[in-house]
Structure 1
Amino acid sequence: MIPYGRQNISTADVDAVVDVLRSDFLTQGPMVPRFETCVADRVGAAHAVAVNSATSALHIACLALGVKPGDLLWTSPITFVASANAGAYCGADIDFVDIDPTTLNLCPLALERKLVQAKAAGRLPKVIIPVHMGGLSCEMDVIAGLARTHGIRVIEDASHAIGGSFRDTPIGSCQYSDVTVFSFHPVKIVTTAEGGLATTNDRALARAMELFRSHGVTREPAEMEGLSDGPWYYQQIALGYNYRMTEVQAALGISQMARLEPFIARRHALAKRYDALLASLPVRLQTQATHHYSGLHLYIVQLDDASRRSAVFAALRAAGIGVNVHYIPVHTQPWYRAHGHADSVFANAEDYYARAISLPMYPDLTEEEQDYVVAQLAEALAA
């Protein structure tokens, strides 16, 4: 089976993990801070907070920004459910902004229209989470401008996008947001097996996220109430969680980050080749403007004939190609339908979902395998 995504593990990665296994620290040692510095330096952010998943990173980002019951959080309906769930964990009400059908990202024009309506109704969102679908940045300058105008905080869900850029600025720099979140799941661009990380340029936000990832516990005397009882002493000053990343994960992440640029370059070479091979087929591709440089986590095609999607998907799977669909619109999920979205309609998102198939995209995909994927897709479309 040719998977839609797959990790690339080198001898150096294995050695890095083994070195940690033989060290004194499997958790809460020196590797996690080194990984945080590695990522922060690469993307140009002042601070980074590593955790056990991107979902955890989204959650602590919402907590650090003060999201609470009664607040409103908006995100894209075309994303994994974690983007919305992070706000729901905090008790916020969740709503969505439809996508641009060409970029597949949260549409700035739809956002502007919805903000006008929300302001008139007297209920603006506290936080917006734009999602960089497939690794392609949203139009963050426009989104950031709208957010500033209305006093809204921004979390970039860049789970797909490490190594990408927007207007020559690395995704994760937080030039256009309060916090940016990355994922290091095995199918992502670099992996820590499971893991996530939040970047920010705000020291107070970084410190809040550090507390929330580790039980809300501090050993810093300056953060405590009263005096410390001694060097063993700690206090819980917030209700936090156990979201820590392990030393093993961090060591793997540091080793993987050394190959980030080659990984991204290979993905772009494969995407360019896909673009050429698919040019004569009845499919639509995600649009990437010249001011974007995608992380290219996903390579998505949309079938011109939506009625053929199930048959084409089944044919590709039967041919040994592990295609997938990213994503089912979040507002159509039973939990969200039960929480106020039963009648929601986001036309572009729903039309996209009806047509979408993710083709294999990972650095070790060979040109022969890629040719096979396209040939099988062409055959399925012609059937």
Structure 2
Amino acid sequence: MIPYGRQIISEDDIAAVEAVLRADFLTQGPVLPRFEQAVAGRVGARHAVAVNSATSALHIACLALDLGPGDLLWTSPITFVASANCGRYCGSEVDFVDIDPETFNICAQALEAKLDAAASAGRLPKVIVAVHMCGQSPDMARIATLAHAHGVRLIEDASHSIGADYLGAPVGNCAYSDITVFSFHPVKIITTAEGGMALTNDPELAVRMERLRSHGITRDPALMTQAPDGPWYYQQLDLGWNYRMTEMQAALGLSQMDQLDRFIARRRAVADAYDQLLADLPLRCPGRMERSESSWHLYIIRLDDPTLHRATFEALRADGIGVNLHYIPVHLQPYYRDLGFAPGDFPASEFYYARAISIPLHAGLTDDEQARVVAALSDALTT
């Protein structure tokens, strides 16, 4: 089976983790801040807060922006459920903005219309989570202009996008958002096994997220509400969580950062080859936005004929091609249907879902494996 995605672990990665296992700290040691600094330095953000998953990063990002009961969060229907669930964790309501059918990201035109209507109705969102689907940034400059005009805060769910560029600058620099989130799950660009990171240029948001990832506790006397009783003293200022990343995970991530450029170069080469190899088949390749370079976490084709969708998917799986589908529209999940969403609410997302298939793309994919994927897809569509 050729998987749609997988991690690449080198001997250097193994040695980095082993070194931590032989050292003094397994958690809350010196490696974690080095990993945070490496990622922040690479993308041009001032602060980074590593946590145990991107879901945790989204949660503390929403909390740091004071999202809560009575508030509203908007995101894309085509994403993993965590992009919406983070709002529900905070007690807020959630709504969606339909996608651009070419990039699969939030459609800026649809967002503008929905914001104008919400402003007229007096029901604007407090936070928009702009998802970077497949590793390509949304049109963040336009989204930021629209959001800021209405006083809406922005989180970039860039879980797919470390190593990507937008308008000539690295994704993650928070030039257009309050907070950007990365994921380090094994099928992502680099991995810490499980893990995530929230980046920001706002020092107050960084301090708040650092505290929220560790039970809401501080040991900084400058932040305490009373003078410390002694050198042992700490205070819980918020209701926080244990979302900390271990030293072993941070060591793996730090080592993986040394390979990021190589991983991205190979993913882009595979994506470029797919564009050429699939050009004559009855399907559409992913759209590419101008002045944007994807990190290519996923390569998603859309079949011209939706009646062939399931049969093609099953034929590829039977032929040893580990295809997947990213994602079932969130508003169609039973939990969100119970909140009032229904089929037909977001037509572009549902049109996408009826045709989309994620085919294998990862930095370890060989030319022979890619050729096998293309041959199997061609056979499935012509049989």
Per-residue CA distance 1:248-300 (angstroms, 9 max, x = gap): 00000000001111100000100111111000001111111330000100000
2:33 match: 33
Per-residue CA distance 1:203-229 (angstroms, 9 max, x = gap): 000001001100000111111121111
Deviation at 1:344, TM superposition (A): 5.5
1:82 match: 82
Q: Distance in 1 between matches of 2:63 and 2:374?
A: 44
Q: Distance in 2 between matches of 1:314 and 1:105?
A: 27
1:105 match: 105
Q: Distance in 2 between matches of 1:348 and 1:285?
A: 16
Q: Distance in 2 between matches of 1:67 and 1:18?
A: 40
Per-residue CA distance 1:83-129 (angstroms, 9 max, x = gap): 00001100110000000001111000000000111011110000001
Alignment of 1:317 onto 2:317: yes
Q: Distance in 1 between matches of 2:12 and 2:59?
A: 32
2:129 match: 129
Alignment of 1:204 onto 2:204: yes
Q: Percent identity?
A: 64
Q: Distance in 2 between matches of 1:307 and 1:260?
A: 39
Instruction: Determine if contact 1:75/1:83 at 8 Å carries over to the other structure.
Output: yes
1:118 match: 118
Q: Distance in 1 between matches of 2:251 and 2:182?
A: 17
Q: Distance in 1 between matches of 2:342 and 2:263?
A: 41
- AA partner of residue 133 (structure 1): M
- AA partner of residue 329 (structure 1): P
- AA partner of residue 226 (structure 1): Q
Ranges in structure 1 where 5+ consecutive residues have no aligned partner: none
Q: Distance in 1 between matches of 2:290 and 2:339?
A: 39
Counterpart secondary structure, 1:341: coil
Counterpart secondary structure, 1:231: coil
- AA partner of residue 370 (structure 1): Q
Q: Distance in 2 between matches of 1:141 and 1:290?
A: 13
Per-residue CA distance 1:65-84 (angstroms, 9 max, x = gap): 00000100000000000000
Counterpart secondary structure, 2:338: helix
- AA partner of residue 125 (structure 1): P
- AA partner of residue 334 (structure 2): P
Q: Distance in 2 between matches of 1:287 and 1:234?
A: 51
1:342 match: 342
Instruction: Determine if contact 1:331/1:344 at 8 Å carries over to the other structure.
Output: no
Instruction: Determine if contact 1:8/1:363 at 8 Å carries over to the other structure.
Output: yes
2:156 match: 156
1:213 match: 213
Q: Distance in 2 between matches of 1:148 and 1:169?
A: 21
Per-residue CA distance 1:343-370 (angstroms, 9 max, x = gap): 6610000000010000001111011110
1:96 match: 96
Per-residue CA distance 1:145-193 (angstroms, 9 max, x = gap): 0011000000000000000010001100000000000000000000000
Ranges in structure 2 where 5+ consecutive residues have no aligned partner: none
Q: Distance in 2 between matches of 1:115 and 1:147?
A: 8
- AA partner of residue 305 (structure 2): D
1:281 match: 281
1:41-52, aligned counterparts within 5 Å?
41-52=41-52
2:244 match: 244
- AA partner of residue 182 (structure 1): F
Runs of 4+ more than 4 Å apart: none
Q: Distance in 2 between matches of 1:201 and 1:286?
A: 31
Q: Distance in 1 between matches of 2:290 and 2:263?
A: 20
Alignment of 1:235 onto 2:225: no
Counterpart secondary structure, 2:284: strand
- AA partner of residue 57 (structure 2): A
Instruction: Determine if contact 2:332/2:343 at 8 Å carries over to the other structure.
Output: no
Q: Distance in 1 between matches of 2:341 and 2:208?
A: 32
Instruction: Determine if contact 1:154/1:179 at 8 Å carries over to the other structure.
Output: yes
2:170 match: 170
1:69 match: 69
- AA partner of residue 111 (structure 2): L
- AA partner of residue 139 (structure 1): D
Deviation at 1:339, TM superposition (A): 1.1
TM-score, reference length from structure 2: 0.99
